[in-house]
């Protein structure tokens, strides 16, 4: 279930706010400049290719390209049996920023985006049909869990794709990880 948890930076293990209401999630994230949408379901086989996935969501992807100036879209997928899953997880677990919006639409599976705003950290468990657009310059990190299972459409303004600037902050290691927040509502 799509879930937003809000933690206080100085008490990351303490009680925190949790909501699963899509409108509350949308409004709460919008107040921080984060775009959150839920797109209609498209039934695709598990073996769908990048081309088939992009074709199924062509209207939505084109709308975002026109609206936001994105130049490219691709599909990223990771499964629990991928031999480099641990290395990929570790790569995204450190707080970082980008010089462009980070946009992900979950075609299947789920993943946890952490967004750091001042003294609060918003943890958004995204799942199938969720779109998140993290504004450029926003401090954040991503946790796919120890057994990742997701496929996402990514949109970029920079043709080079994912380029991160790591903050060097340790905050990501102080908050509950995917394992603790998966299924929390």
175 within a domain of the structure (yes/no): no
Q: Is 96 annotated as ligand-binding?
A: yes
SS (H, E, C) 36-67: EEECCCCCCCCCCCHHHHHHHCHHHHHHHHHH
182 within a domain of the structure (yes/no): no
Q: Is 16 annotated as ligand-binding?
A: no
Domain region containing 124: 3-169
90 within a domain of the structure (yes/no): yes
- 35, two tokens: 């775009």
Each residue's pLDDT tens digit, 60-78:
999 999 999 999 999 999 9
82 within a domain of the structure (yes/no): yes
Mean pLDDT, residues 75-101: 93
178 within a domain of the structure (yes/no): no
Model's pTM, two decimal places?
0.94
Q: Is 147 annotated as ligand-binding?
A: no
Quick one: what percent of the chain has pLDDT higher than 90? 83
pLDDT at 184 over 60: no
Q: Tell me the pLDDT of the chain averaged across its residues.
A: 92
Q: Is 116 annotated as ligand-binding?
A: no
pLDDT at 160: 65
8 within a domain of the structure (yes/no): yes
CA 172, CA 69: separation in Å to the nearest integer? Answer: 30
pLDDT at 8: 92
CATH of the domain at 10: 2.60.120.10
Quick one: what percent of the chain has pLDDT higher than 70? 96
Identify the DSSP state of 173: G
Each residue's pLDDT tens digit, 146-182:
999 999 999 998 766 667 888 999 999 999 999 999 8
179 within a domain of the structure (yes/no): no
165 within a domain of the structure (yes/no): yes
The number of domains in the chain is 1
User: What phi-psi label fits residue 84: left (phi over 0), alpha (psi between -120 and 50 degrees) or beta?
Assistant: alpha
Of the candidate ranges 4-18, 31-45, 83-97, 157-171, the one whose mean pLDDT is the lowest: 157-171
pLDDT at 161: 60
pLDDT at 75: 96
Strands (E), 58-167: 72-78, 96-97, 102-117, 120-127, 130-134, 139-143, 150-156, 165-166
């Amino acid at each position: 279930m799509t879930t937003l948890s809000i933690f206080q930076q100085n008490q990351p293990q303490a009680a925190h706010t949790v909501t699963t209401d899509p409108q509350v999630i949308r409004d709460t994230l919008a107040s921080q400049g984060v775009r959150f949408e839920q797109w209609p379901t498209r039934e695709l086989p598990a073996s769908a290719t990048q081309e088939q996935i992009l074709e199924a969501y062509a209207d939505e992807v084109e709308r975002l390209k026109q609206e936001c100036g994105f130049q490219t879209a691709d599909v990223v997928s990771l499964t629990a049996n991928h031999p480099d899953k641990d290395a990929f997880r570790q790569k995204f677990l450190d707080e970082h920023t980008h010089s462009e919006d980070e946009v992900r639409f979950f075609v299947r599976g789920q993943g946890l985006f952490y967004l750091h705003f001042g003294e609060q950290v918003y943890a958004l468990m995204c799942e199938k049909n969720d779109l998140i657009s993290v504004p450029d310059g926003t401090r954040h990190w991503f946790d796919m869990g120890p057994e990742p299972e997701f496929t996402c459409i990514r949109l970029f303004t920079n043709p080079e794709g994912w380029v991160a600037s790591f903050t060097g902050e340790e905050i990501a290691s102080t908050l509950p990880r995917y394992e603790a927040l998966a299924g929390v509502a």
